[in-house]
């Protein structure tokens, strides 16, 4: 096994708004906010935007990520 550190652009080059929208549509935030009232969704959206803004560089929002490469020999 070999670790591979990388950056993952959660905005896919489309800016902070896209990154925030993606966070609200997929993953744990989407499930947690699914049936919440609008004021809760708005507060969460603001928090997500603030957290992701720290990683914004132009139109990219690159988050640190890691994967493991597993090689098998027969």
pLDDT in the model for residue 74: 87
The predicted model scores a pTM of 0.84
**Integer-rounded Cα radius of gyration of the chain:** 16
Burial class for 20, CB neighbours closer than 10 Å (0-12, 13-18, 19+) = buried
* Residues lower than pLDDT 50 in the chain: none
Three-state DSSP class for residue 22: helix
pLDDT in the model for residue 51: 97
């Amino acid at each position: 096994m070999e670790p591979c550190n990388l950056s993952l652009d959660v905005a896919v080059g489309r800016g902070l708004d896209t990154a925030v929208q993606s966070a609200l549509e997929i993953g744990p935030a989407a499930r947690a906010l699914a049936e919440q009232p609008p004021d809760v969704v708005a507060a969460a959206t603001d928090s997500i935007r603030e957290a992701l803004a720290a990683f914004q560089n132009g139109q990219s929002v690159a988050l640190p990520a890691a994967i493991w490469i597993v090689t098998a020999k027969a």
